[in-house]
């Protein structure tokens, strides 16, 4: 069995959304048609890919799936909401930020990784080799 670090390198590096394994059998989803189920997954993916935190503007929403599936998602019974309508602007995916990392969180993760990588490279290429580079932000520390 590979170590945790090696395993992380083996995992698919592409961006992804988080989907609970119970989604297909959850009460909010079993009432949906196949088209509406596909549409909500498509909406989650589009929003994550575009960093909109669940906000989908009207022109995109109207081209995202069949009109019947869009109407179905907007007319589910109270307590089963998946998409909230804002007719002037578009739609908002209900509780998107409770299930997916927001664009701000993803940017923070990226900044943390960049900082850690920069410091690691400084230690590897400057500290370990006894090199001082006045252009390196870590050499002045």
Per-residue confidence at 27, pLDDT binned at 50, 70, 90?
very high
Cα radius of gyration rounded to whole Å, the chain: 22
pLDDT at residue number 9: 66
Sheet holding 90-93, edge to edge: 55-57, 90-93, 83-86
Q: Report pLDDT digits (tens) over 28-76.
A: 999 999 999 999 999 999 999 999 999 999 999 999 999 999 999 998 8
pLDDT at residue number 102: 84
Q: Report pLDDT digits (tens) over 108-129.
A: 777 778 777 787 887 888 888 8
107, two tokens: 């940017």
Rounded-to-integer distance, Cα 79 and Cα 77, Å: 6
38: Cβ contacts below 8 Å, ≥ 6 apart: 65, 69
131, two tokens: 């090199």
Residue 8: is its pLDDT beyond 70? no
Q: 78 near 31, Cβ under 8 Å?
A: no
């Amino acid at each position: 069995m590979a170590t945790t670090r090696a395993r992380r390198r083996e995992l698919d590096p592409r961006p992804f959304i988080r989907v609970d394994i119970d989604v297909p059998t959850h009460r909010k989803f079993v009432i949906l048609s196949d088209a509406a189920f596909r549409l909500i997954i498509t909406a989650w993916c589009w929003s994550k890919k575009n960093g909109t935190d669940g906000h989908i503007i009207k022109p995109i929403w109207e081209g995202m799936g069949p009109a019947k599936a869009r109407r179905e998602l907007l007319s589910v019974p109270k307590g089963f909401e998946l998409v909230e309508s804002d007719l002037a602007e578009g739609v908002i995916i209900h509780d998107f930020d409770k299930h997916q990392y927001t664009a701000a969180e993803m940017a923070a993760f990226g900044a943390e990784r960049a900082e850690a990588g920069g410091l690691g490279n400084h230690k590897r290429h400057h500290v370990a080799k006894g090199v001082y580079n006045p252009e390196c932000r870590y050499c002045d520390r």
